[in-house]
Chains A and B, each alone.
Chain A
Amino acid sequence: MIEQLVLYLQYPFVRYALIVGVLIALCSSLLGVTLVLRRFSFIGDGLSHVAFGAMAIATVLQLTNEMLFVLPVTVISAILLLRTGQNTKIKGDAAVAMISVASLAFGYLIMNLFPTSTNLSGDVCRTLFGSTSILTLSGRTVVLCTVLSVAVILLFLFFYNKIFAVTFDEDFVTATGTRAGYYNLLIAIVIAVIIVLAMNLVGSLLISALVIFPALSGMRLFHSFKSVTVFSALVSVLCALVGILLSILAGTPVGSTIVAVNALAFLLCWAAGKIVGRARA
């Protein structure tokens, strides 16, 4: 088994795929805590469906680099969704539901009306659940993913204190003279970027798992924002590595393998949290 792994690792594209996978996992875990606590997770889910619709259009148009189309569309949707969400809560909820199912439906419809390959269900499956094998990532995608991941990580580090304050108490931040709206916008844009990135790894249906599982795992065990963030980043990277290696060895679809590993990690953290909590009490 190890020999097989060493053999695979000799190919540069396998190594690149591993690096990209780890970077994407790191990015997606960073904003997880914010998403979970601000009840933005539904926006994340909605956006991933928008990304699916955009991906379908990009496929039909046979664009050489789909991400250059999908990314702007998703970012714009994120900004629009956030704006409607500010007015009234119910409207925002309905808007997300409406946009997400509509783009899912239109995406599938377009792919059916203008099939670009004979393997339609294969194409749809790939967009929904990610590449069946990490090895199918194209060289351009690898470069773009790396650049975007690094940008997201730098942005997060730079605005870490602001993101914490806005997540914890938006009213206080506004009342004391900081423009919370700008940081909400920043968070929305970063989420959109993360979703488009993660789509390459796990596909649009499984993205939420990649964003939310590590944060929830961290919250079982730790009690400060910083420690939860650091722990969830570590767990996410570890799960991605294990998931990718497993999928290479066992020939399983990479996205669902990573998510399955994440779910297992959550169960472990949950159990550990219960035991620690009982020991304290």
Chain B
Amino acid sequence: MAILTVRDLAVGYAQHSVMEDLSFSVAAGDYLCIVGENGSGKSTLMKTLLGLQKPVSGQILLGDGLQKNEIGYLPQQTAIEKDFPASVREIVLSGCLSRCGLRPFYSRAEKKLAEENMARMGISSLSRRCCRDLSGGQQQRVLLARALCATGKILFLDEPTAGLDPKVTAELYELIASLNRDGLTIVMISHDLAAAVRDCSHILQVGTRRFFGSREAYLQSGAGAFLFQGKRGGGPS
């Protein structure tokens, strides 16, 4: 049984759909990359998958015993509120919230989990720093550590490398690939097709030419050829 199944999904705003008849499934341990042109509805799709907005029609099913509070999410870089006073530790720990239910305070185990995830992302030394003083790459690691506190099963990422320099981008992709090797299911939106194809196991292409299947099938089909040409040398969208 797949961990995530999407059937005949249409997504959009207020009954006006930007994407229709979408069906695909993600098995545990998969690394699915969602690619497509700007404005093809990738972010809208992700918000719908996460339950941030209602689907126009169709079904999204969680399987394999996955609960709604076992999902991790790395939002599109929103540029953390400029004035927000929050330490790295506070933000990472807030990822444990979905484990708490009505319990008002974090348990010792949850605090330990936060420490472990900060260590895993290499940000332990920043624990007391204010998040707004960190670089873009460091901020993404903080938010990734928070997402890991929320899940041990599936991680959704929306353009995690937008606005980062090439070196930091490569490091972040390697980090995500290593999380996948450790058994975490990954669903990632990317505008960076070359990097996406290198690491992922499956590809969902939305927009003018729809494709869903394994990475090998995608490379043979040539479905992404025009994207490769369009994107090469282009900056981040």
Mostly, the A contact residues are helix
In the complex, are the beta carbons of A169 and B75 less than 8 A apart? yes
Q: Contact residues of B with A, CB < 8 Å? A: 47, 50-52, 67-73, 75, 78, 81, 83-87, 89-91, 93-95, 97-98, 100, 104-106, 128-130, 133, 146-147, 150-151, 156
A172 adjacent to B146 (CB under 8 Å):
yes
CB closest chain-B residue, reference A158: B104
Name 27 interchain pairs, CB-CB below 8 A, sorted by A: A36-B83, A37-B84, A159-B104, A161-B105, A164-B90, A164-B94, A165-B97, A168-B81, A168-B94, A171-B50, A172-B73, A172-B147, A174-B50, A175-B156, A176-B98, A177-B69, A218-B85, A219-B85, A222-B85, A223-B129, A224-B86, A224-B87, A224-B89, A225-B85, A225-B90, A226-B90, A228-B85
Contact pick for B52, options A157, A174, A178, A227, CB 8 Å: A174
Contacting residues, chain A, for B90 (C-beta < 8 A): 164, 224-226
Which residues from chain A sit less than 8 Å from chain B, CB to CB? 33, 36-37, 157-162, 164-165, 168-169, 171-178, 218-219, 222-228
> Is the beta-carbon distance between A168 and B104 smaller than 8 angstroms?
no
Chain A residues within 8 Å of B151, by CB = 176
Task: Give the distance to chain A from B16, nearest Cβ to Cβ, in Å.
Answer: 15
Contacting residues, chain B, for A225 (C-beta < 8 A): 85-87, 90
Complex alpha-carbon distance, A224 and B85, angstroms: 5
One of A37, A158, A171, A172 near B83 (C-beta < 8 A): A37
A-chain residues with CB within 8 Å of residue B91 when the two chains form the complex: 168
CB-CB under 8 A from B100, the residues of chain A are 161
Are A223 and B98 touching (Cβ within 8 A)?
no
17 additional A-B residue pairs with CB within 8 Å, beyond A168-B91, A226-B87: A33-B85, A36-B83, A37-B81, A159-B104, A161-B93, A161-B97, A161-B100, A164-B90, A168-B94, A173-B97, A174-B51, A175-B52, A177-B70, A223-B87, A223-B129, A223-B133, A225-B90
**A161 and B87 in contact, given A171-B52, A175-B73, A176-B69 (Cβ under 8 angstroms):** no
CA distance A164 to B90 in the complex (A): 9
Known A158-B104, A161-B105; contact A176-B150, beta-carbon cutoff 8 A: yes
Closest CB in chain B relative to A151 CB, distance in Å: 15
